[in-house]
A and B are shown apart, each in its own frame.
Chain A
């Protein structure tokens, strides 16, 4: 999982985390004006979003569970 949670109550919708993420895991939910985890599998646990969030709304875990490997996908 890596980036596990963005607390919707704490998130102030500033969008800093979107620019912090070089692998494009986070996007803004235009309707609610909150950051959301759009592509969780691509998180590489760099912690930049957690470091940069002014509201401490991000939680990155040290654990990552990649998808199970199958014959095609």
Chain B
């Protein structure tokens, strides 16, 4: 890798989803020079193009802040940070206005009313009032790109960033390479905003293969603290075709509210209903049924057209094969979990912030979106569409704060020794004459982490066993990752980051000796408010991964006078 390019900028943004684009646009509007890098093509990259709801809160729509706050705390089992939750709600209307100004289209019924999701009966709304507006998939992500370019952001696509660079104790930039012509890119930046998304293991079913924990891994390696790794995102996939379930649906037209249907009901192999499709559930109850020998699990979609499109239809809006025609007839499809394996709960895992300006422990490093572990949500996700609001809110906060910081700073001088070390680390897989292919190592990682008894139904001995495997991969396999070209070099770095993420997930899950939300330990099946009204923080100390508890302030605890069963109405097996 002999070619090399140096980019100097005030603010560097790593990752071009909704958080990264908002960060870049807002930083540029403050007068800073901004460079935005993405390993794909900004506008078509990350999770953003798949998002189709925006959780806008406003009293103008009749929303009640207390009700929305209660829903997040209740569903997230008091693991959220209400200060951040409130900020997201309060920021969301201005960010929604930005989107409307830029040309993002939101669904409306024929009577000109917005399409709010999910549709709930009045008595359900009293308990779970959060809703979001449906928007057109993909279109909005392309608009953020257009707006960033219009604002004057320097976008460089198809650059895989591998490491952050420090000068003394401050962040000074980053290093990466172009996946087309193997050119090394060194960015000297006065401030850096990490918006590279969350961390999954390239699972089947949700198109999450670029979400490999790059942002938190890079931050961890320069001394930042990471949180939220013990929770799970529990998206299922179609059992017959696990690779494609959550691919984009055709945008549909809705004429009246009935067309939107309802949430799917779930039944087990014995025909027993395991959720009524109306109340908020854990999403991992399917696993408990499977563990009890009652799989397969079927989802029965509602009568509405949108529900049908969500579960059955292909991208053209038509059933794709005879099995789907069968599903259409029966109104049910066979589902299996694991399609978002590795991901924690949105807006909860990631780099620990030290202020609501999205600063981190490392001066000059900011984080936003799913790279920011603000614990805005907690142990379980409260409502679809919350994440887009959070990502645009934190992107804006980080962009403004990073620009202010950068405009007062001098250009950093990068340490030559540090650059030489980073370059060597970057190109090591391609310099090696042999070793292991990143695809095979990823497959081995998935085989270790995917079976339901590791991350969905957890126990000390099984997680220790998985951790032994992951430690072997970390020490003996990752150092031998080999790449034949720049495409594989990107995969090699993604794989290295996923192995680190797996270690964090296992260690955080072993550390939290209780069950709560999407973290179920069959050896500790109860919530333990005495010990675990706390967040878990992970950092590197003298080359070792260390974990600690950060107590949640008492003012945010659930009311201890309420009986346990009412405080936590969802039951775990063995509880």
Physical interaction between A and B: yes
Proximity bits, A43-66, B CB within 8 Å = 1, else 0: 011111011000000000011101
A33 within 8 A of B: no
Give the residues in chain A near B40, CB-CB below 8 Å.
Answer: 21-24
The reply to whether B241 and A41 contact each other, CB–CB distance below 8 Å, is: no
B452 within 8 A of A: no
Q: Which B430-463 residues sit within 8 Å CB-CB of chain A?
A: 436-437, 439-440, 443-444, 447
With A19-B41, A45-B243, A72-B436 in contact, is A62–B320 under 8 Å at CB?
A: yes
Give the residues in chain B near A44, CB-CB below 8 Å.
Answer: 202, 207-209, 243
Q: Which B472-515 residues sit within 8 Å CB-CB of chain A?
A: 487, 490-491
The reply to whether B320 and A22 contact each other, CB–CB distance below 8 Å, is: no
A29 within 8 A of B: no
Give the residues in chain A near B243, CB-CB below 8 Å.
Answer: 2, 44-45, 62-64
A9 within 8 A of B: no
B18 within 8 A of A: no
The reply to whether B138 and A45 contact each other, CB–CB distance below 8 Å, is: no
B371 within 8 A of A: no
Separation in Å of the B247 CB from the closest CB of chain A? 5
Cα distance, A69 to B314, chains bound together (Å):
29
Give the residues in chain A near B321, CB-CB below 8 Å.
Answer: 62
Cα distance, A24 to B320, chains bound together (Å):
25
B76 within 8 A of A: no
Separation in Å of the A37 CB from the closest CB of chain B? 13
B173 within 8 A of A: no
Give the residues in chain B near A70, CB-CB below 8 Å.
Answer: 440
Give the residues in chain A near B315, CB-CB below 8 Å.
Answer: 47, 50-51
Give the residues in chain A near B248, CB-CB below 8 Å.
Answer: 46-48, 51
The reply to whether B487 and A69 contact each other, CB–CB distance below 8 Å, is: no
The reply to whether B247 and A67 contact each other, CB–CB distance below 8 Å, is: no
Cα distance, A24 to B160, chains bound together (Å):
12
Give the residues in chain A near B41, CB-CB below 8 Å.
Answer: 19-20, 22
Separation in Å of the A59 CB from the closest CB of chain B? 12
Interface centre among B158, B315, B444, B447 (most CB of A within 10 A): B315
B572 within 8 A of A: no
The reply to whether B490 and A24 contact each other, CB–CB distance below 8 Å, is: yes
With A24-B487, A38-B487, A62-B314 in contact, is A46–B436 under 8 Å at CB?
A: no
Q: Which B314-341 residues sit within 8 Å CB-CB of chain A?
A: 314-315, 320-321
Cα distance, A23 to B179, chains bound together (Å):
11
Give the residues in chain B near A50, CB-CB below 8 Å.
Answer: 315
The reply to whether B44 and A20 contact each other, CB–CB distance below 8 Å, is: yes
Query: Which range contains the number of A residues in contact with the other chain?
Result: 20 to 34
The reply to whether B45 and A45 contact each other, CB–CB distance below 8 Å, is: no
Separation in Å of the A4 CB from the closest CB of chain B? 12
Q: How many A-B residue pairs have CB under 8 A?
A: 81
Interface centre among A23, A39, A73 (most CB of B within 10 A): A23
B429 within 8 A of A: no
Residue of A nearest to B447 (CB): A69
Cα distance, A45 to B50, chains bound together (Å):
13
Residue of B nearest to A63 (CB): B241
Cα distance, A36 to B145, chains bound together (Å):
26
Interface centre among A38, A41, A45, A67 (most CB of B within 10 A): A45
Separation in Å of the B21 CB from the closest CB of chain A? 15
Separation in Å of the A71 CB from the closest CB of chain B? 10
Separation in Å of the A62 CB from the closest CB of chain B? 4
B244 within 8 A of A: yes
The reply to whether B436 and A22 contact each other, CB–CB distance below 8 Å, is: no
The reply to whether A48 and B49 contact each other, CB–CB distance below 8 Å, is: yes
The reply to whether A19 and B487 contact each other, CB–CB distance below 8 Å, is: no
With A66-B443, A73-B437 in contact, is A24–B247 under 8 Å at CB?
A: no
The reply to whether A22 and B46 contact each other, CB–CB distance below 8 Å, is: yes
Give the residues in chain A near B210, CB-CB below 8 Å.
Answer: 22-23
Query: Contacting A67 at CB < 8 Å: which of B202, B314, B439, B447?
Result: B439
B404 within 8 A of A: no
Residue of B nearest to A45 (CB): B244
Give the residues in chain A near B39, CB-CB below 8 Å.
Answer: 22
Cα distance, A44 to B50, chains bound together (Å):
13
Give the residues in chain B near A42, CB-CB below 8 Å.
Answer: 209, 439, 491
Cα distance, A50 to B158, chains bound together (Å):
20
A contacts, CB < 8 Å to B: 2, 19-24, 38-39, 41-42, 44-48, 50-51, 62-64, 66-67, 69-70, 72-73
Task: List the 6 shortest-distance A-B pairs measured between CB atoms, nearest first.
Answer: A73-B440, A22-B40, A64-B243, A46-B207, A45-B244, A19-B41
**A/B interface sample: 28 pairs, CB < 8 A:** A2-B244, A19-B44, A20-B44, A22-B45, A22-B46, A22-B210, A23-B210, A24-B179, A38-B487, A42-B491, A44-B202, A44-B208, A44-B243, A45-B243, A46-B50, A46-B248, A47-B247, A50-B315, A51-B138, A51-B248, A62-B243, A62-B320, A63-B243, A67-B440, A69-B443, A70-B440, A72-B436, A72-B440
Q: List 17 additional A-B contacts (Cβ < 8 Å) besides A24-B179, A62-B244, A62-B320.
A: A22-B40, A22-B45, A23-B209, A24-B40, A24-B487, A42-B439, A45-B207, A48-B248, A51-B315, A62-B243, A62-B314, A64-B243, A69-B444, A70-B440, A72-B436, A72-B440, A73-B439
